[in-house]
Structure 1
Amino acid sequence: MTDTPPIDRLIAIMARLRDPENGCPWDLEQTFRTILPYTLEEAYEVAEAVEREDMTALRDELGDLLLQVVFHARLAEEGGHFAFADVVESVCAKLIRRHPHVFGTLELADAATVLDHWERLKAAERAQTRVDEPGALAGVARTLPALVRAEKLQRRAARVGFDWDEPLAVLAKVEEELAECRATLTDQATPSERIHEIGDLLFACVNLARHLGVEAEQALRAANRRFEQRFAQVERGLREQGLEPSPETRDEMERQWTLAKATERRG
């Protein structure tokens, strides 16, 4: 088995784990739905390794994600639907089809033109295979993270001309939505009204990020990391004084937070 190509070895290991007589009891119990959370988790762990620029972790996480692909393909093969080789053939054909400027004679000037052509090809493919109601927004997966899905919906709408002309107009919309959120800070506002207005504000913020060339999901992930790092420094500063985070140490936490931000800027 050691002379077997690595991908074939992985496929064989997965088949062994799913062997009805001698396989792993846990692996044998799994279905597409039960392993889906692991698939999503592994994709996020790949993203985290990339953001940390940790190549060792990235190698391991890509392996874990590949395992998920092989697992899904094995389940599909057992059900008589398709095998791993079909998955590979499908993506190879798709890459060739969507890169006529590389594998054909089409000439595209730059990366932006390539991306626009790619999206047009995808739209044409969706139109040929669509089983749901046609429309510019059809086919955007509902299981995507909300920020990612918002950006994809906005990009789809923009391709048919439904978009703001420039970032300042979007910023004005953000300010408008913020004012509407402020209006819900009354006892008369219902929870559903607040959810509605916060959702509109977040959607407008994603739109602003898109117009500024920023991926909202990545920006928020980076903000989460900064918050974690700063708060960890706040806790260290408190411990050095024999204190703990609490409502009673709020003023000192604010002071330590300011110090953490200053340290971050210097770094």
Structure 2
Amino acid sequence: MSGQGTPGDEVGALVEVVRRLLADDGGCQWNRDQTPESLVTYLVEETAELVEAIEQGTIDDRREELGDVLYQVVLHSALAERDGAFSLADVVSDVSAKTVRRHPHVFGGDEAADVDEIIRLWSAAKAREKAHRDSVFDGVAVGLPALARAQKIDARRRAAMLPGSGSIEVGPSPSTAPHPGDDVELAFGREVLRLIDALGDDGVDAERAVRRAVREREELLRDVERRVAGRREDGMPRQPE
């Protein structure tokens, strides 16, 4: 570990770096021109790179990508403060207070005998905060990847003890042969949702499962690519792919 100060000291130094970047005098024009909307692409990319570092990378990769995500938080907060909306201090204060509220077995007088009880207390605290919502499905981010959002919605459905998709009419039966003009894409999506619902009770993370399968396929294809390149270098005739 190379940090010389406390976490607060180091975050404070990063805040100062960002302040310099946004300064009208001697700052960075590119940074000054950014908005929360223009930074969304970078935020998504940095978050995806952090996920990859956690699932496949080294400790050093994880450390670097956590820093990149933290930079995004500090930059977004600095832009908001420049516009008079809120500051990084507000963000930290809010999330700290929310974390305390949602862990009454640690910071309050409640007790939890096991993880199930912890989850119940957390869910109850969150429900009190979100009492203004009209539906249990409110708050599921539209920007989530499709598989992750589908699984999140199904988890909300199960928590609310609503009937599963198997009891809801959402179009023709999957066993029905498609006819000309049928929406094949939508039918495929429904089949994927049925599979996600079936896996939900087993605790399978659909998004992570597909990421693993895609990585596996990529490695297999890279291996094929290397072997094909090797044959070409050896002067062997190219085989039909």
Q: Which interval holds the TM-score relative to the shorter structure?
A: 0.7 to 0.9
Letter in 2 for 1:13: V
Q: Does 1:153 align with 2:153?
A: yes
TM-score (norm 2): 0.86
Letter in 2 for 1:198: F
| Deviation (angstroms), 1:205 | 1.8
Instruction: Specify the SS of the correspondent of 2:62.
Output: helix
Letter in 2 for 1:48: E
* 1:82-124 Cα deviation digits (max 9, x unpaired): 1111111111101110000111121112223322332232222
Query: Is the alpha carbon distance of 1:232 and 1:194 closer, same or farther for their aligned partners in structure 2, counting shifts above 3 Å?
Result: same
Q: Structure 2: state its 5+ residue gaps.
A: 167-171
| Deviation (angstroms), 1:226 | 0.2
Q: Which residue of 1 aligns with 2:15?
A: 11
Runs of 4+ in 1 over 6 A off after TM superposition: none
* 1:124-156 Cα deviation digits (max 9, x unpaired): 21124x4xxx11111211111111111111111
Farther off after superposition, 218-227 or 105-114: 105-114
Q: Structure 1: state its 5+ residue gaps.
A: 171-175, 251-267
Q: Which residue of 2 aligns with 1:189?
A: 181
Cα distance in 2 for residues equivalent to 1:28 and 1:137 = 37
Instruction: Specify the SS of the correspondent of 1:179.
Output: coil
Q: Which residue of 1 aligns with 2:240?
A: 249
Q: How many residues get paired?
A: 227
Q: Which residue of 1 aligns with 2:72?
A: 68
Cα distance in 2 for residues equivalent to 1:152 and 1:136 = 11
- Aligned-residue Cα RMSD (Å) equals 2.4
Query: Is the alpha carbon distance of 1:149 and 1:177 closer, same or farther for their aligned partners in structure 2, counting shifts above 3 Å?
Result: farther
* 1:109 aligns with one of 95, 113, 138: 113
How much identity, in percent, do the aligned residues show?
Answer: 35
Kept in 2, the 8 Å contact 1:137–1:153? The answer is yes
Query: Is the alpha carbon distance of 1:53 and 1:115 closer, same or farther for their aligned partners in structure 2, counting shifts above 3 Å?
Result: farther
| Deviation (angstroms), 1:163 | 4.3
Letter in 2 for 1:118: W
TM-score (norm 1): 0.78
* 1:227 aligns with one of 199, 217, 221: 217
Kept in 2, the 8 Å contact 1:177–1:201? The answer is no
Instruction: Specify the SS of the correspondent of 2:129.
Output: helix
Letter in 1 for 2:159: R
Q: Does 1:77 align with 2:81?
A: yes
Cα distance in 2 for residues equivalent to 1:105 and 1:163 = 35
Kept in 2, the 8 Å contact 1:126–1:139? The answer is no
Cα distance in 2 for residues equivalent to 1:202 and 1:81 = 41
Greater share of helix residues, 1 or 2? 1
Cα distance in 1 for residues equivalent to 2:66 and 2:20 = 21
| Deviation (angstroms), 1:248 | 6.3
Kept in 2, the 8 Å contact 1:49–1:57? The answer is yes
Q: Which residue of 1 aligns with 2:191?
A: 201
Q: Which residue of 2 aligns with 1:264?
A: none
Q: Which residue of 1 aligns with 2:175?
A: 179
Q: Does 1:20 align with 2:16?
A: no
| Deviation (angstroms), 1:242 | 3.0
| Deviation (angstroms), 1:209 | 2.3
Q: Does 1:212 align with 2:202?
A: yes
Q: Which residue of 2 aligns with 1:162?
A: 162
Cα distance in 2 for residues equivalent to 1:87 and 1:196 = 40
Cα distance in 1 for residues equivalent to 2:120 and 2:208 = 22
Query: Is the alpha carbon distance of 1:150 and 1:105 closer, same or farther for their aligned partners in structure 2, counting shifts above 3 Å?
Result: same
